[in-house]
Chain A
């Protein structure tokens, strides 16, 4: 007899980042379907869905609705950091837990959040370790005007300067803006060795299309000469980018076809894989423990006696592969992979000289 346990799903099905939300949502639903069909498991999950429609101000109230009106204590959801920050006070009030399955900028370790995707020591730092020796140390930084771009670019600037590099330019766009002309002009004049792209949604698609055009006009800006790097781009957005994605280099814990991800290799993207893992880990924590579905996260973790846990009890982050991949013929091809990188949200557990020492030798 399976225990029926309600769990919340809080993903925007429309709005500027809906491709990512949909990828996460389908990963979570795939895991729920798989677990519910497993006769050996003593529980089944009943999804309780709310759709904030890309409006950051609806996340708090809708999370409140899930935790107040249903028995769900666990919510799989949120894409932007702003929306995650909005739900944390609600989680605190109700003793709920958010399972967050997208890359983010770090510097958080909430008692009420599990982070199953990558933070900077698992995406940005490995990416810089790869690009600085292979392409040079002159960077152009772009981003959308919110915490993801700001913090990623701050950290990139710090690490690039430490490595003796320089910042050729840094420019931001309001979320949703397609006004990329000035960035392209600056890049043409500044001639960086690479571009770190932390734009999101339509801004990013527009930028990549314009940069491809620039590369066609001047081979200096072809991807093999001056690549565009991303810490959050996955297969789920490739259809929106089309041919302009060619040559783009991204960091992530999974790319389609990579083997070794727990639960399978058939995921469409790391967003899907990380949401899938979140639901599976929740099921592992609750299986065989009637009543555990009502516990808060810290107790759930401290009482966990079963093998196979993936959550660091101190930081609530997970150990992930750090993979660098390049889009070739419409698919990501792995160019570098480091396994077993533990999430280090405050960068206090990773050596500070990460990648810098050997870069000096190369120069």
Chain B
């Protein structure tokens, strides 16, 4: 089931609008200020101060790579594309730039609030998924180490199941992940000293 939307605290939040001077900038600024945000305009590129912004609205019509002070498609905040031309090439570029929501031009009386909420939610979801994927990847990479650690523990005459349970207990006692515990076991056996000294003073955080 989908989690309930988190209504972001928008009072005093910083929005940057990357668009050439134009009435739509005025209309968008009015909306954002009515909502309670502080607004800065920038053109033709976002300066380094953009890193501190909570939201970025950017022109999808005249936008191009290199306008943003971060790696392509990896904005550190939610981004809203301001779309005039709905040409597929421009939509593609907006998505590559990292758009989380869009607002169609001409910007009129409304639309900014829902764009802010949808962009924030998409951004948070994306972040959470990336973190989860990175963690799963790391754990996947550690699979071989887990097998080796279980084999090492089982070599002392335990069943594979008991060795597995022992590894889990060690991880809990050391307060580190299962995979990190396995890496520690493997490292200690690889050590020239077979007594497992590293494993015993393994209280430093993993």
Q: How far is the CB of A230 from chain B (nearest CB, A)?
A: 24
Are A352 and B36 interface neighbours, CB within 8 A?
Answer: no
Q: How far is the CB of B54 from chain A (nearest CB, A)?
A: 12
Are A112 and B113 interface neighbours, CB within 8 A?
Answer: no
The segment from B27-35, B78-86, B150-158 found at the interface with A is B27-35
> Contacting A88 at CB < 8 Å: which of B7, B11, B36, B109?
B109
- Is B122's beta carbon under 8 Å from chain A? no
Are A110 and B10 interface neighbours, CB within 8 A?
Answer: no
- Is A349's beta carbon under 8 Å from chain B? yes
- Is A314's beta carbon under 8 Å from chain B? yes
Q: Give 4 closest A-B pairs by Cβ, nearest first.
A: A348-B36, A348-B11, A109-B34, A346-B35
Q: What B residues does A108 contact at CB under 8 A?
A: 110
> Contacting A349 at CB < 8 Å: which of B11, B109, B113?
B11
Q: Cα distance A112–B30 when bound, in Å? A: 12
Q: How far is the CB of A99 from chain B (nearest CB, A)?
A: 16
- Is B9's beta carbon under 8 Å from chain A? yes
Interface centre among A92, A346, A352 (most CB of B within 10 A): A346
Q: Find residues 1-48 in chain B having any chain A CB closer than 8 Å to their own CB.
A: 7, 9-12, 27, 30-31, 33-37
Interface residues of chain A: helix, strand, loop or mixed (majority): loop
**B116 and chain A: residue at smallest CB distance:** A346
Q: With A92-B108, A111-B30 given, is the CB distance from A352 to B35 under 8 Å?
A: no
**B35 and chain A: residue at smallest CB distance:** A346
Q: Cα distance A349–B109 when bound, in Å? A: 21
Q: Cα distance A153–B108 when bound, in Å? A: 29
Tell me the B residues contacting A by CB distance below 8 Å. Answer: 7, 9-12, 27, 30-31, 33-37, 108-110, 113
Are A92 and B109 interface neighbours, CB within 8 A?
Answer: yes
Q: How far is the CB of B23 from chain A (nearest CB, A)?
A: 12
Q: How far is the CB of B106 from chain A (nearest CB, A)?
A: 10
Q: What B residues does A145 contact at CB under 8 A?
A: none
Q: With A107-B113, A109-B31 given, is the CB distance from A349 to B108 under 8 Å?
A: no
**A346 and chain B: residue at smallest CB distance:** B35
Q: Cα distance A349–B36 when bound, in Å? A: 7
Q: Cα distance A158–B9 when bound, in Å? A: 14
Q: Cα distance A149–B79 when bound, in Å? A: 32
Are A315 and B9 interface neighbours, CB within 8 A?
Answer: no
**B12 and chain A: residue at smallest CB distance:** A348
Q: How far is the CB of A129 from chain B (nearest CB, A)?
A: 19
Q: What B residues does A314 contact at CB under 8 A?
A: 33-34
Q: How many residues of A contact B (CB 8 A)?
A: 18
Are B109 and A112 interface neighbours, CB within 8 A?
Answer: yes
Are A346 and B110 interface neighbours, CB within 8 A?
Answer: no
**A350 and chain B: residue at smallest CB distance:** B11
Are B33 and A348 interface neighbours, CB within 8 A?
Answer: no
Q: What B residues does A110 contact at CB under 8 A?
A: 109-110
Instruction: With A112-B109, A348-B36 given, name 8 new contacts (CB 8 A).
Output: A88-B110, A109-B34, A111-B27, A315-B34, A346-B10, A348-B10, A348-B12, A349-B36
Q: How far is the CB of A57 from chain B (nearest CB, A)?
A: 20
Q: Cα distance A112–B108 when bound, in Å? A: 11
13 CB contacts below 8 A, A to B, read: A88-B110, A107-B113, A108-B110, A109-B31, A110-B110, A111-B27, A111-B30, A112-B109, A298-B30, A314-B33, A345-B34, A348-B9, A348-B35
Q: What A residues does B36 contact at CB under 8 A?
A: 346, 348-349
Q: What B residues does A316 contact at CB under 8 A?
A: 34
Q: How far is the CB of A309 from chain B (nearest CB, A)?
A: 17
> Contacting B35 at CB < 8 Å: which of A92, A109, A111, A158?
A109
Q: Find residues 281-338 in chain A having any chain B CB closer than 8 Å to their own CB.
A: 298, 314-316
Q: How far is the CB of B24 from chain A (nearest CB, A)?
A: 13
Are B9 and A111 interface neighbours, CB within 8 A?
Answer: no
Q: What B residues does A345 contact at CB under 8 A?
A: 34
Are B34 and A352 interface neighbours, CB within 8 A?
Answer: no
Q: Find residues 71-119 in chain A having any chain B CB closer than 8 Å to their own CB.
A: 88, 92, 107-112
Q: Cα distance A83–B34 when bound, in Å? A: 22
Are B109 and A346 interface neighbours, CB within 8 A?
Answer: no
Q: What B residues does A107 contact at CB under 8 A?
A: 113
Are B113 and A352 interface neighbours, CB within 8 A?
Answer: no
Q: Cα distance A110–B11 when bound, in Å? A: 18
Q: Cα distance A108–B31 when bound, in Å? A: 9
